[in-house]
Structure 1
Amino acid sequence: MATQPRDIAETDPLDGWSLPAWTYSDPEFFAAERERVFAPSWQVVCHESDVTEAGDWHTLEYIGESVIVVRGHDRRLRAFTNVCRHRGSRLVDGPSGCARKLVCPYHAWVYDLDGRLTGVPDSQSYPEFDKARHGLSPVGIEVWRGFIFVRLVDDGGPTVGQMMAPYEAMVAPYRFEELKTLGRVTTRQRAVNWKNVGDNYSDGLHIPVAHPGLTRLFGASYGVEAEAHVDRMWGDLMDRPSANWSERMYQRLLPPVPHLPEDRQRHWLYFKLWPNVAFDIYPDQVDFMQWLPTGPEACTIREISYVLDDDRREMRAARYLNWRINRQVNAEDTALVTRVQAGMASRSFSVGPLSDKEVCLRRFCKRIRELIPEARQNERPSSGWSQA
């Protein structure tokens, strides 16, 4: 397995150690993560192709907030909290829809697609009320290569484009801006802390042990590296036919992709953006996945596939086989993170050593300890530490 560490200086004695087990189950630590990790982080909502017409909207639910992304009559994309300014009612229900205006189902307050409050029933009964000051609360929004991201709090951190800057040339040939949905967003509930899902995603050492299918496909070519805000993983399909039917047929049927360079024709590429958004990039499709925390020991995995127009039978077959292969990988990963979450409850385990090859985990743990210094303590602090 190729591993390329980048700029990880061993200046802190904890750099070679994992986060303590208590941080994967403690309610107070989870509350700190919601504010210090997730509120300022960029979260992917959908792709521009999902909201092409005026009034098209998509929502994202996370850390107790509901965010709505909507395309205005002026064709601009905007993001708001999905909350009426009157009594706090949710404005829209469900993951997506289309509306000429946003009308609150509680008291029928009306908002234009640009967030302006335009209608208040019996407005005369609200003395000295200024509608101009009570539009929908805006949320930070960024479109990176066609994918729409939102951020609840601007802490001065980098944009998505700045995070991905080291890899722009690598991503460019895949034509992200032209992608369209394949299927629908799926969600999977997992009884594990969100960090366990992310740790597993960026962990290259478990591939030859726990993923026989990926090992048959990639051999020793699987590699990992860590940039400041992005992890990259990759592998190249081997020519030797796999013993597994789905893998062997994928190897055989995956057709040439004219817009990709020769070295990407059989290349699988993965990126994890801080702290919990991933792009799985294949010659045949692009998937995004994110693991959203719902509690100290629970999270929701949200994912969907996007593709370029290609009606070739071989391409349709390759995409189906890709799904079969990764369904098995997901099942293996689910078993792994469940075992880890259970093991972390043992009084015998606190922290574990990290290999020099575990560059992504080292980077992640270092960042968490910077944002929440209590993560430096092997034992759980006394209750109330986050308010001290």
Structure 2
Amino acid sequence: MGQDEWAEKIRHQMRFEFERTGPPDDFPALPEIPTERYISGEFFALEEKIWQQSWLLVGREEDWSEPGRYRTADRGGSPLLICRDLDGELRGFFNTCQHRGAPVVREACGLAKRLRCQYHSWTYGLDGELLSVPDERDFRDLDRGSRGLRPVRLETYGGWVFVNEDLDAEPLLSWLGPIAEEWAPLHGESLRAMASRRERVPANWKIVADAFLETYHVKTIHTSTVSKLLDHRGAAMGLFRNGHSRMVTPKWDRVVERQRQVASGIRELPGLHALFAETNPAYSVFPNLITPLDTVGFPFIQFWPMGIAETEVEWTFYGLPTDVPEEQAAWEAYVGVFDQVMGEDFQNLGSMHRSVASGALASIPLNYQERRIYHLHEEIDRRLGRDLIPEAMQVRPVLEPFWESQS
């Protein structure tokens, strides 16, 4: 689908949203979400499967700028190691020596010609092959060929690096579905990280993620920021296979006109359709990546569970690289405004988790505007296996008939 066809589809959806007087006639009442899903240790333990069998963003190709450059990644739960081998290929492994499980690197990042276990000095090549074992004579029938570092899947899209512990996982491009095509005009390979932030939020990761999947809250908590930019009544939402989704929210006409007259000081990404300037297209990639796109750049926001009641939120901005002081200053101002918006989003989440944990709220009723939240929870249950989830914590699948097609 080209940009013109995509834009016409979105505009049609936005017109429908503005004109409707209620939910579409064929849209179901969404079953309430049991709050036990957010606070149950049993459910949290089941969710480990999500992080082991999903494509997770771990960085940019340029983060591994030369052979031997490595970085660790463990916020998905498992200790992973990504390195660029001597032939320049990016590879992913478990950061786990195949002797007794010690890490082969301790530092979060570095440069190495070989990977040496921090316990007994078993040494591996950057391709994961076991090269040497101290006192090898004391092992009977040790097969070095079968003791290489355990690999994980690693694939890239637009310069971003994703890993998946499941060696039989669906290829990344197929997994992304329509999003891969809709992000193509961004030309991700030409972008670079402009700024990055991290924040710990005292709430379950799903409470945090839910907050970024609807605009129902905009008029209440973003009174001086987002609500002055976006008209939530026209938000057009699309649900995709694999739990991904899209939400395109129109800007107020006065905002669009002001943007035409006043330059931001940041270069715009070339070749984008006019709809990018007239709206805020936001995407969710299951399980933990959200991005609200803009014409000058955008953040990738990720939610990492640190425990049942704690989430680390990381957001990194991407844009056209610059060494011009005035543009760098404009970027600082741009990121500062977004930091304010994130603070507004965070302010209720810890209290919401405490309320849920107290038993004061047994289930969550969602409206039509909040259907992306239900879509996320349906996919969580599909990934875990409904037969493994206690019946009282399940959500009933009802949204598949409303998924957009892959074509």
How would you bin the TM-score normalised by the shorter chain?
Answer: 0.7 to 0.9
Cα displacement (A) at 1:360: 0.5
What is the aligned counterpart of 2:132 among 116, 119, 133?
Answer: 119
1:74 paired to 2:50: no
Do the aligned partners of residues 23 and 63 (structure 1) sit closer, same or farther apart at CA in structure 2, a change above 3 Å counting? same
- Structural mapping, 1:182-221, within 5 Å: 182-184=194-196, 186-212=197-223, 213-220=225-232
Distance 1:378 1:130 in 2: 46
8 Å Cα contact 1:32-1:372 kept in structure 2: no
**Which amino acid in 2 is paired with 1:124?**
R
Structure 1 residue identity aligned to 2:66? E
One of 227, 232, 251 as aligned partner of 2:246: 232
Counterpart of 1:363?
375
CA distance in 1, matches of 2:39, 2:172: 29
What is the identity, as a one-letter code, of the residue corresponding to 2:392?
Q
CA contact (8 A) 1:83 1:136 kept: yes
Distance 2:231 2:27 in 1: 30
SS where residue 357 of structure 1 aligns? helix
Is 1:40 the counterpart of 2:49 in the alignment? Answer: no
Equivalent position amino acid for 1:350 in 2: A
Residues of 2 paired with 1:129 and 1:372: CA distance? 39
Gaps of 5+ in 1: 380-388
- The 1-side partners of 2:267 and 2:319 are apart by 14
Q: Which amino acid aligns with 1:22?
A: E
1:286 aligns with one of 277, 295, 298: 298
Q: Distance in 1 between matches of 2:255 and 2:215?
A: 23
65-74 or 222-231: which moved more? 222-231
One-letter code aligned to 1:234: V
Deviation for aligned residue 1:130: 1.3
Shift of 1:356: 2.0
Residue correspondence of structure 1 range 22-37 to structure 2 within 5 A: 22-35=36-49, 37=50
Distance 1:18 1:250, change over 3 A: farther
* One-letter code aligned to 2:192: K
Residue in structure 2 matched with residue 382 of structure 1 by the alignment: none
How large is the Cα RMSD of the aligned pairs? 3.0
Deviation at 1:258, TM superposition (A): 3.5
Judged with a 3 Å threshold, the aligned counterparts in structure 2 of structure 1 residues 211 and 294 are, in CA distance, closer, same or farther, namely same
Q: Contact conserved, 1:350 with 1:378, CA < 8 A, in 2?
A: no
1:226 and 1:168, CA in 2 relative to 1: closer, same or farther beyond 3 A? same
1:351 aligns to what? 363
1:344 counterpart SS class: helix
Tell me the equivalent position of 2:328.
Answer: 316
Richer in helix (by share): 2
Aligned partners of 1:57, 1:175: CA distance in 2, in Å? 25
Q: Aligned residue pairs: how many?
A: 367
Per-residue deviation, 1:192: 0.7
Cα 1:51–1:226 change in 2 (3 A) is same
In the alignment, which residue of structure 2 is the partner of 1:83?
A: 96
CA distance in 2, matches of 1:230, 1:202: 11
CA contact (8 A) 2:195 2:335 kept: no
Q: Determine which of 153, 158, 162 is the counterpart of 2:166.
A: 153
Return closer, same or farther for 1:49/1:268 CA change in 2, 3 Å cut-off: farther
8 Å contact from structure 2 (residues 48, 77) kept in 1: no
Q: Secondary structure at the match of 2:358?
A: coil
Q: Which residue of 1 aligns with 2:348?
A: 336
Match of 2:402 in 1: none
TM normalised by structure 2 equals: 0.81
Change (3 A) 1:294 1:85: same
1:178 is aligned, of 180, 185, 190, to 190
Rate the CA distance shift 1:362–1:316 in 2: closer, same or farther, 3 A: same
Q: Read off the aligned partner of 1:377 and give its amino acid letter.
A: A
- Paired with 1:183 and 1:94, the residues of 2 have a C-alpha distance of 22
AA partner of residue 103 (structure 1):
R
Percent identity, aligned pairs only?
Answer: 26
Say which SS state the counterpart of residue 93 (structure 2) adopts: strand
Partner Cα distance (1:207, 1:58) in 2:
37
When structure 1 is superposed on structure 2, of 91-100 and 188-197 the one drifting more is 91-100
Distance in 2 separating the partners of 1:160 and 1:358:
27
Work out the CA distance in 1 between the residues paired with 2:238 and 2:327. Answer: 30
State the 1:257 CA deviation.
Answer: 4.1
How far did 1:136 drift?
A: 0.3
Q: CA deviation at 1:100?
A: 1.1
- Residue 135 of structure 1 corresponds to 148
Name the residue aligned to 1:384. Answer: none
Runs (5+) with no aligned partner, structure 2: 1-12, 18-22, 395-407
Partner-residue secondary structure (3-state), 1:218: coil
Q: Which residue of 2 aligns with 1:261?
A: 273
1:348 Cα deviation after fit: 3.5
- For residues 354 and 375 of structure 1, the distance between their equivalents in structure 2, rounded to whole angstroms, comes to 21
In the superposition, relative to structure 1, how do residues 257 and 285 fare at CA in structure 2: closer, same or farther (>3 Å)?
closer
User: Alpha-carbon deviation of 1:188?
Assistant: 2.1
Secondary structure of the corresponding residue to residue 124 of structure 1? helix
Contact 2:244 2:376 in 1 (8 A): no
Q: CA deviation at 1:44?
A: 0.6
| Counterpart-to-counterpart distance in 1, 2:119 and 2:262 | 52
- Aligned partners of 1:235 and 1:269 also within 8 Å: yes
State how far apart, in whole Å, the 2-side matches of 1:218 and 1:251 are.
19
Please give the alpha-carbon distance, in whole angstroms, between the structure 2 residues aligned to 1:148 and 1:264.
25
Instruction: Report SS of the residue matched to 2:145.
Output: helix
Match of 1:16 among 11, 16, 30: 30
SS of match in other structure, 2:215: coil
SS at match of 2:134: coil
